[in-house]
Amino acid sequence: MTRREWLSAASAVAVRAANPKPPNFVLITCDDMGYADIEPYRPEVGYTPHLARMAKEGMRFTSWYAAPVCSPSRAALMTGCYPKRVGLSFGSWHAVLMPGDWHGLNPSEITVARLLQTKGYATACVGKWHLGDQPEFLPTRHGFDSFYGLPYSNDMRPAPKAGGAMDYPHPPLPLLRNNDVLREVTDQDSLIADYTQEAITFIEKNQAKPFFLYLPHSMVHAPLAAGKAWRGKTGKSLYEDSVAEIDDSVGQILATLQRLKLDTNTLVIFLSDNGGTPRANNQPLRGNKGSTWEGGMRVPALAWWPGHVPKARTSDAIVSNMDILPTFAKLAGATLPANRKIDGQELSALLTGGTKIGSPYAAFYFYHANQLKAVRRGPWKLHSSGELYDLAANISEAKDVATQHPQVVRELQAKLAEARADMGDGSHAGPNVRPAGKAKGPLRFWISRHPESGFPPQAPVKAVPGAPVL
């Protein structure tokens, strides 16, 4: 550690000593945002000033990894584990959990929210959940005191293809408050604003005690939407307008923390849930959402905590969604469960000015559903196909250097073998994975109102007396 880094870390320790109250946590995620969609990664963007400010006043990560798609990514965030380890590398019949899926995040999993509750934190999830829509899988069963938002993606609603054929026989898209359906969502223009106001209200109500706010925005996932005041704001497409409104939402959250004098005691993390779709800007990465190329899993990520996280710092350390749980637990003084493996790293020292990571990855694995596709160690990334890339020299994965570095290939092949022995690969199930949750009773909520849809395909739909009327 350099003298400057040492002084910064010492300053952060002094601040904590003077303010013993445990920190608050705000975790903001954006859906399908590309690596270079915001100014900290592409300065010419020009319409994300609040995210640019987060980077100037905090830390920018350039090697933060999510999962290729939504449900696995969120499973990693909540559990600190590879999605494959907790049985949610894909849904029961699709790449992600679908409406009425009888799979979900196992109620026996210990989420970051549940850990923080043990330390007296108020917890709220505002936005898109997508870890199961049956009662036993909802946020209120996984450590959140309250939930306001959509149980899954905003495109999972009745929407005929051109010509009238249905892509999937989705039921109406429900907005939930805790476990109850408030209404059907047909117009998504107000989603960003509604989530933002709900988040601000939660912060205001819980300002006197430690809190954890998880704000997973539904945007910029299709179908795209933005508030009427934001349409045409950027002079570009609706996609850019939606990004700009997300940025404004972040600005409102930061302003609320400052107004309530909570900013120096609140760690704010912003990131995307997976790589961007082709409509996003993933420069200079190869690939998009759904792949294990860098463009499918490397995401924009920022950390802001005035007085703790040094200003204008960039880290290229290999970090991931799995690191949220052990890091928040450490900072809150919570104890990690001893009866299960947690894959994530603890980042508090890195965040507060150091260069080292607690329990760093010996290797980071890239899974696509159940398939082990690649491994990264340091700058080297080996695909299971045998291609080797030096990401420090060739971030775009354009130049295969396997033949020039046979020893590196052999070492990383050994790491792939370790993952296969631990978590499995393809049809081979590893011994150290935990099962996904499975719904115990008949499917309910909005599904029971639409038995004519034949949804879901593999299970009979049973009407539930007293189910909410949409």
Domains of the chain in sequence order: 3-351 (3.40.720.10), 364-429 (3.30.1120.10)
Is pLDDT at 118 greater than 90 in this prediction?
yes
**Closest-CA residue to 266 (of 4, 15, 5, 29):** 15
Is pLDDT at 466 greater than 80 in this prediction?
no
What is the C-alpha to C-alpha distance for residues 170 and 133, in angstroms, rounded to an integer? Answer: 13
Label residue 442 by pLDDT band (50, 70, 90): low
What is the C-alpha to C-alpha distance for residues 133 and 122, in angstroms, rounded to an integer? Answer: 22
Strand segments, DSSP code E, in 39-194 are 59-65, 103-104, 122-128, 146-150, 174-177, 180-184
Quick check: is 70 catalytic?
A: yes
Average of per-residue pLDDT values in the chain: 90
Mean pLDDT, residues 71-96: 96
Is pLDDT at 310 greater than 60 in this prediction?
yes
Mean pLDDT, residues 317-337: 97
What's the confidence (pLDDT) of residue 163? 55
Q: Locate 5 and state its tokens.
A: 């880094």
What's the confidence (pLDDT) of residue 430? 95
Whole-number Cα distances in Å, 9 to 26, 324, 464: 22, 20, 56
Is pLDDT at 105 greater than 90 in this prediction?
yes
CB of 136 closer than 8 Å to CB of 109: no
What is the C-alpha to C-alpha distance for residues 338 and 241, in angstroms, rounded to an integer? Answer: 45
The torsion angles phi and psi of 364, rounded to 5 degrees, stand at -115, 130
pLDDT digits (tens, 9 = 90+) for 140-188: 999 999 999 999 999 998 876 555 555 566 888 999 999 988 999 999 9
What is the C-alpha to C-alpha distance for residues 211 and 309, in angstroms, rounded to an integer? Answer: 19
CB atoms within 10 A of CB 278: 9
Label residue 457 by pLDDT band (50, 70, 90): very low
What's the confidence (pLDDT) of residue 453? 43
Is pLDDT at 346 greater than 90 in this prediction?
yes
What is the C-alpha to C-alpha distance for residues 324 and 327, in angstroms, rounded to an integer? Answer: 5
What is the C-alpha to C-alpha distance for residues 57 and 225, in angstroms, rounded to an integer? Answer: 29
Quick check: is 30 catalytic?
A: no
Name the 3-class secondary structure at 214.
strand
Which of the residues 30, 70, 81, 125 is marked catalytic? 70
CB of 400 closer than 8 Å to CB of 387: yes
Separation of CA 398 from chain center? 27
Least confident of 90-94, 271-275, 319-323, 386-390: 90-94
Which of the residues 50, 130, 217, 221 is marked catalytic? 130
- Enumerate helices (H) and strands (E) in the chain, giving the number of each: 10, 19
CB of 343 closer than 8 Å to CB of 82: yes
What's the confidence (pLDDT) of residue 14? 47
DSSP per position, 368-428:
ETTEEEEEEETTEEEETTS-EEETTT-TT-----GGG-HHHHHHHHHHHHHHHHHTEETTE
pTM, full prediction: 0.91
Q: Locate 149 and state its tokens.
A: 């938002």
